[in-house]
Amino acid sequence: MMRVASLCNVLGTDWRTQMSELALFGGPKAVTTTPEERWVQVNSDVKAAVNELLDQGVISIGGPTGVIGEFEAAFAQMTGSGYALAMNNGTATLHSAYFAVGVKPGDEVLLPAYTWHASATPIIHCAATPVFCDILPETLTIDPDDIERRITERTRALCVVHVFGNVCDMDRICDICTRHGISLIEDASHAHGAMWKGKPVGSFGAVGCFSMQGAKAVSGGEAGVAVTDDPDLLDRMVLLGHFGRPRMGGVDVVNQIGDMSLGAKYRAHPWAIAMAHVGLKRLPELNERRTANYEFLNDQLRDCPGIEVIDALPGASRAAYLEYKFKLSRQAIQAVGRGRIVEAMAAEGAPVTADRYSDTNYTYGLLHAAPLFTAVDRTTLGGCFYDPTRPGSAPRPALPVAEDVNQRLISLPGFIDVERDSLQQVAGAMRKVMEHLDELN
């Protein structure tokens, strides 16, 4: 290809359209059969479950009865937890978890910078301070060594994120939390059914939090669910957002409040939970299919020049896979740039995008650099969105791994039920671009 590129001066600026094999310059597309997702999320079982509630006139449930109670029991069993509490979204579960473990003004909560902002924003609802940590380059999960470096006397809790279905090092993380007396929250919004050494994610910490938004492996359209083994933490979550729901009665201050709540309305809609309950029953099949597809793509691309696959830690069983992730090499980024590579892969027919947590897709990029946490004076917002013990923005920490890796990540959809030939063509399209990288300059 370098020989082809050297003809530029002879043929003029449009030489690539005359000689290149890349579809971007007029060559044949590598993907001739676009991956068609045959997995139907809103299937006949979902419609029947929701219609049954409609026929019964069930439009709201305030306690652990009916479909809400059935789903909570099933989800608690799936995660090996004592209790599950359905909510209206995953963000509500995280706010409830931070509140339940007692996060308050003056406290710090550690979490990775590489995550969706809803892992962090509920912390400022508690008038506490998010402290962002670096990630492991091989897995994209939080770096236990960096957790240890950032613990202070203010650290109240740690939120780990099993990002895109990849499980954190739960042995080291549980050890850190035990030694330092820190409450552990698991954000498992991307990881329904994932495990660490045979134990389900969500069951390691004080509270496990799961989103059930429309794109998630178990979906209610908009819903969430929290799990815990501690009845007192369950009571505190109920107190925050579930007026009218019976409580366990083990927390004095909760008992003093009586049958009132703190005013938030976090309980789930029964129609959403009916949909999620069907999705939970289908989760094993979904995870089996997505795992097989990701492993196939990894096998196809593991030796591709300029592409690095994302590995799992020993002992981790990935699941759910909101998206499939790959890294471009530093050399590829320096030579061409991610945007140009994504453009060329898309021209070949591969549904590749830049990583969703980069500033290519969202203006704030990684959370440790987001203006909400580094530049905005939150005292001007009203309410309690700042720590009164230290008002003002926080300095941006140096997180070299996250900053490097985030600019090199590309994504594919989390394919469930597609033809294997289509996946083969997608992998071939990505390989084709990387093998003709010099033509993109």
Query: What are the angstrom distances between the C-alpha of 431 and each of 139, 177, 395, 437?
Result: 22, 43, 41, 10
Extract the tokens encoding 394: 């926080």
**Residue 216 annotated among the catalytic residues of the structure:** yes
Determine phi and psi for 282, rounding to 5 degrees: -90, -5
Instruction: Tell me the DSSP string of 286-346.
Output: HHHHHHHHHHHHHHHHTT-TTEEEPP--TTEE----SEEEEEE-HHHHHHT-HHHHHHHHH
Alpha-carbon distance 150 to 180, whole Å?
12
Tell me how far CA of residue 265 lies from CA of 63, 76, 243, 251, in angstroms.
Answer: 13, 22, 7, 21
* Beta strand extents in 123-252 (DSSP E only): 129-133, 155-161, 183-187, 195-196, 199-200, 207-211, 224-228
Q: Which three-class secondary structure string do you get for 229-258?
A: CCHHHHHHHHHHHCCCCCCCCCCHHHHHHC
Catalytic entry in 29, 216, 265, 281: 216
**Largest distance between two CA atoms of the chain:** 85
Task: Return d(Cα 113, Cα 367) in angstroms, integer.
Answer: 5
**How many CA atoms does the CB half-sphere of 286 hold within 13 Å?**
25
HSE (side-chain half, CA atoms, 13 Å) at 60: 8
Residue 161, beta-bridge partner list: 187
**Two structure tokens written together for 339:** 């945007």
- Residue 170 CA to residue 357 CA, distance in Å, equals 23
DSSP string, 364-381: T-SGGG-HHHHT--GGGG
Annotated active-site positions, please? 216
